[in-house]
Amino acid sequence: MRIPVSKPFLPKRDEYRKMVDQIWQREWLTNNGDFLINFEHQLGKFIGSPHTSVVSSGTSALQLALKTLGANKGEIITTPFSYVATTSSIVWEGFKPIFADIEEEFLGLDPQKVTAKISSKTRAILATHVYGNPCLIEDLEEISRQHGLALIFDGAHSFGTSYNGKSLLTYGDIATLSFHATKLFHTINGGAIVCKNKETKEKIDRYRNFGHIGINEFNGEGINAKMCEFHSAMGLLNLSAAKNILAKRKSQWELYEGEISTKKLSTLELREREGFNASYFPVIFDKSEYMLEAVRKAEKNGIELRRYFYPSLNTLNYIEPNHCPISESVSSRICCLPLYHKLTESEQKEVLSIINDI
């Protein structure tokens, strides 16, 4: 594609090469090297939480977060409108996903629908901040308190988003991040977990490193979910550019928003505009036929529009059938427009010409 839906931000090659040279000199590639320790510390400062752990992917972050719940039995109330990793992590860890439908405007998990799904088997609520747009946090926190449930936020898209003056990732018992190359902020591949307290972080750090508490000492089970030095180096460089990345993305988002003229779609309703990170620009067409027409026309012109998220996760073939009409409807009509750091204004207007012609 001449205009793909996403491209990774890359720092200056010479800057990364210098850091690679340091890795070569130290001959330390993984297992809590200097770059990893520094990146985790700097990321925690950026987020505003000392209880931040970096891991190998956004999916492993979700899996480790679910592992803190203990015995993998019971139900997790979750959203049908998210990337498949949200659901697959629940199933992979031995829990049963119970889907509650979403808010039609903000696309987050609907708290009223959550309450209706709670049973004696419910262990936790796992909600997604869709496209970095906050869920109804206060309502979900109140529900979790009333029923004694853990509250986990899938914040894969939430790097740089603030809510009520602090990072969106500091809400809930645990929040997870994805640093995949397609994300607003990336480490080539990787993720992070933000915890409420030191004890949970220590547990996460054991889980990500086979359960190690010493060279030949272990405390419980674990997996290899550590980030390596090469990815940590990329994270450090991209973190130093984060303000620039976020500012550029916001201006691109506003250009799209200001110049869409077709009446056959709506754009994302923002919970809090000031703190939004502008990580994606989804458009929701009135009919699925309009969306499919836009995707076809864009492809013919060398432009990629991505159906994201599709399908609604409650329709996956390994899930017990569970009707969520709002999510199913939105997922059949939504797609994301190209959005990345080097996308030019003229390229954005090419995209708009396709969209506005529908």
Same domain membership, residue 323 and residue 300: yes
Q: Is residue 151 one of the residues assigned to a domain? A: yes
Q: What is the pLDDT of residues 194-243, one digit of tens each?
A: 999 999 999 999 999 987 877 877 778 889 999 999 999 999 999 999 99
| Bridging pattern class, strands 75-78 and 96-99 | parallel
Q: Is residue 98 one of the residues assigned to a domain? A: yes
Q: What is the pLDDT of residues 35-44, one digit of tens each?
A: 999 999 999 9
- Cα separation of 309 and 271, whole Å? 19
- Report the pLDDT value the prediction gives residue 221, as an integer from 0 to 100: 87
Q: Is the peptide bond before 99 cis (omega within 30 degrees of 0)?
A: no
Domain CATH for 285: 3.90.1150.10
Same domain membership, residue 254 and residue 183: no
Same domain membership, residue 76 and residue 148: yes
Q: Is residue 24 one of the residues assigned to a domain? A: yes
Same domain membership, residue 307 and residue 341: yes
| Tokens at 204, concatenated | 């996460």
Same domain membership, residue 246 and residue 232: no
Beta bridge partners of 84: none
- Report the pLDDT value the prediction gives residue 270, as an integer from 0 to 100: 97
Same domain membership, residue 206 and residue 60: yes
| CB-based contact 174:68 (threshold 8 Å) | yes
- Residue ending a domain, among 220, 240, 260, is 240
Same domain membership, residue 224 and residue 285: no
List of residues 6+ apart from 261 with CB closer than 8 A: 356
Same domain membership, residue 178 and residue 62: yes
| CB-based contact 9:341 (threshold 8 Å) | yes
Q: Is residue 122 one of the residues assigned to a domain? A: yes
Q: Is residue 1 one of the residues assigned to a domain? A: no
Domain CATH for 215: 3.40.640.10
Domain count, the chain: 2
Same domain membership, residue 58 and residue 25: yes
Give yes or no for residue 253 having a pLDDT over 90.
yes
Same domain membership, residue 174 and residue 51: yes
The pTM score is 0.96
Q: Is residue 17 one of the residues assigned to a domain? A: yes
Same domain membership, residue 317 and residue 202: no
- Please report where in the chains the tokens 């207007």 appear, as a residue: 349
| CB-based contact 8:308 (threshold 8 Å) | no
Question: How crowded is the C-beta side of 334, counted as CA atoms within 13 Å?
Answer: 24
- Percent residues over pLDDT 90 in the chain: 94
- Report the pLDDT value the prediction gives residue 214, as an integer from 0 to 100: 77
- Residue ending a domain, among 240, 257, 282, is 240
HEC letters along the chain: CCECCCCCCCCCHHHHHHHHHHHHHHCCCCCCCHHHHHHHHHHHHHHCCCCEEEECCHHHHHHHHHHCCCCCCCEEEECCCCCHHHHHHHHHCCCEEEECCECCCCCCECHHHHHHHCCCCEEEEEEECHHHCCCCHHHHHHHHHHHCCEEEEECCCCCCCEECCEEHHHCCCEEEEECCCCCCCCCCCCEEEEECCHHHHHHHHHHCECCEEECCEECCCCCECCCCHHHHHHHHHHHHCHHHHHHHHHHHHHHHHHHCCCCCEEECCCCCCCCCCCCCCEEEECCHHHHHHHHHHHHHCCECCECCCCCCHHHCCCCCCCCCHHHHHHHCCEEECCCCCCCCHHHHHHHHHHHHCC
Same domain membership, residue 204 and residue 247: no
Q: Is residue 8 one of the residues assigned to a domain? A: no
- Cα separation of 174 and 195, whole Å? 5
Q: Is residue 138 one of the residues assigned to a domain? A: yes
* 6-15, 109-118, 206-215, 343-352: range with lowest mean pLDDT: 206-215
- Residue ending a domain, among 240, 271, 290, is 240
Give yes or no for residue 158 having a pLDDT over 90.
yes
| pLDDT averaged over every residue in the chain | 96
**Range of the structural domain that residue 294 is part of:** 242-356
